[in-house]
A = this chain, B = another copy of it.
Amino acid sequence: MAIPVEAFFLTPDGEGTLQQQVRGMVMQGILSNLFPAGARLPSSRKLAEHLGTSRITVTLAYTDLVASDYLVSRGRSGYFVSESAPRKPEFQLPATSVATATDWSRAIGSRFSGSEIVTRPRNWRDYPYPFIYGQADARLFDHHNWRACALRALSPREFEATTLDQYDQDDPKLVDVVQRHILPRRGIRARPEQILITMGAQNALWMAAEILLTQRRVAVHENPCYPEQRKILERTRCTTVALDVDEGGLDPETLPDRVDVVFTTASHQCPTNVTMPVDRRRRLIELAARRGFVIVEDDYEFEIPDTAAPAPSLKAMDRGGAVVHVGSFSKSLFPGLRLGYLVADEAFIREARSLRALILRHPPGHIQRTAAYFLGLGHYDSQLNRMARAYRRRRAEMDAALRAHGLLHGPDHARGGSSFWIDAGEGVDTSALARNLLADGVVTEPGSVFFSDRPAGRRFFRLGYSSIDSGKIPEGIRRIAARLEQSGCTRP
């Protein structure tokens, strides 16, 4: 059988190079049993003519297909489908006599769904004024060097490090750069056995809660807080106490008498973005040591190099070892990477390593090695510098526009970060505001999901500036102010 040239056609939305597309068409034909073993392929000249490509494109595709055993070459007779070409297996499915449907409402023992937290439309990128938080900005990312590092991690020399099952182990190169390069940025000295790589900060928080909390324990969290933090605590069935934050974040003097674990975002309170002053940090650590509770420090937002000296992390001040430090590369690199780390006492890290091994063994080798190179070669530092410049510009633009429209008053208690937390005033429903603003092309994040008592948070909203152009900020803020004006509510 000879396969006719008509079996081949290029689609306008075909992906990859022409050579890849030709190869793909042959593979698909063979895998779907359209092209049987022994069938002759059109000559490269004929197929090239038919597709309107160069002959070398077809020849290279055919040669590649010979290497992967889809085709065999018989010299001047041309190319044929290989007798041992890959095939899709075909089954005769034996019938089962019953088809009683399983009752899944009964079969499911624990429910996790139903409390999805949606604060922005999935297609936020389609809006001209996306004041969203926590996504990477392609214009600021050093894609070139990330690619170079990824390529290096893909070299055959790295095959073992990146492809083997590592049981419960991390990539030692990544642990090494975190220890020597990242943690000193936060004032932290740690030994390798006090560090564990995680699938992002959320994964680290979840593990901390699983290890530290039981039904009989008391966890304190900030209010408002990262909504997933509350969900994670709920799962452990421990007693939770929500402590309201003020312009200094969580106040250690307001801690309840009984507490086992305090979860805090001291450096950049989520979502209000305020920084906990040093005296409160010292007090919190003293209380932890004296009363024997553990502090889980969610240091999710990287420290933007600033003119002001950055506040050291809680972990840096912690002599008694009461602090479990959670770090993340989601903000400084990108969230789709899913890499973070835990730094804590060896006894805690040992449990976290075993728990991680149980639920997923270890983070993928290739992304760990790529990150290790990117950090170790200094690209991370340039990346932070570049982001810092852009974020400072954007923050100044935001600050000016928000104040001009009366949306921001008094001192800014935040040190950098990548968002503003706005009080829209008594009576405003920022969820309705957010819906209305979508019609104006503006994406904002309503505040109620961050609060234990959702109605109380209705008047607040978050404006992120990690994904919006500096030049678009004034107009975006103007549109927000105009909508608020319309709603006719009191301003604070």
Which residues of A line the B interface, CB within 8 A?
A: 16, 20, 23-24, 27-28, 30-31, 68-70, 84-116, 122, 125, 134-136, 138, 141-143, 145-147, 150-152, 154, 156, 159-160, 162-168, 184-185, 187, 199-200, 202-203, 206, 210-214, 217, 228, 231-232, 235, 260, 278, 281-282, 285-286, 288-290, 292, 294, 303, 305, 309-310, 312, 316-322, 330, 334-339, 345, 347-348, 350-355, 357-367, 377-379, 381-382, 384-386, 389
Contacts and interface: CB of A to CB of B under 8 A. Distances in A.
Contact of A364 (B206, B212, B288, B338): B338
A347 to B, nearest CB: 4
A360 B202 contact: yes
A70 B386 CA distance: 11
Contacts of A103: 292
A316 B91 CA distance: 10
A378 B108 contact: no
Nearest to A366: B367
Contacts of A125: 160
A117 B30 CA distance: 43
A187 B93 contact: yes
30 contacts: A68-B382, A69-B386, A86-B381, A89-B185, A91-B310, A94-B317, A95-B317, A96-B282, A98-B285, A102-B321, A103-B292, A110-B211, A113-B350, A113-B353, A113-B354, A116-B354, A135-B164, A143-B159, A163-B335, A164-B336, A199-B199, A199-B359, A199-B360, A202-B358, A203-B361, A206-B360, A232-B358, A336-B366, A337-B366, A338-B363
Given A93-B187, A152-B16, A185-B88, A164 B334 contact: yes
Contacts of A336: 162-166, 364-366
Contacts of A228: 358
Contacts of A84: 385, 389
A211 B125 CA distance: 34
A337 B332 CA distance: 23
A408 B425 CA distance: 80
A367 B363 CA distance: 11
**Which of A108, A231, A355, A379 neighbours the largest number of chain B CB atoms within 10 Å of its CB?**
A108
A286 to B, nearest CB: 5
Contacts of A164: 135-136, 334-336
A112 B27 CA distance: 47
A188 to B, nearest CB: 10
A278 B285 CA distance: 63
Contacts of A354: 112-116
A362 B335 CA distance: 10
Nearest to A206: B359
Given A135-B164, A211-B108, A358-B206, A31 B94 contact: no
Kindly list the 10 A-B residue pairs having the minimum CB-CB distance in the complex, ordered from nearest. Answer: A27-B378, A86-B381, A336-B365, A165-B335, A163-B334, A68-B382, A112-B354, A104-B347, A99-B319, A113-B354
B20 A377 contact: yes
Nearest to A28: B378
Nearest to A213: B109
Contacts of A146: 154
A322 B185 CA distance: 52
A105 to B, nearest CB: 7
Contacts of A143: 156, 159
**Which of A97, A213, A385 neighbours the largest number of chain B CB atoms within 10 Å of its CB?**
A385
Nearest to A146: B154
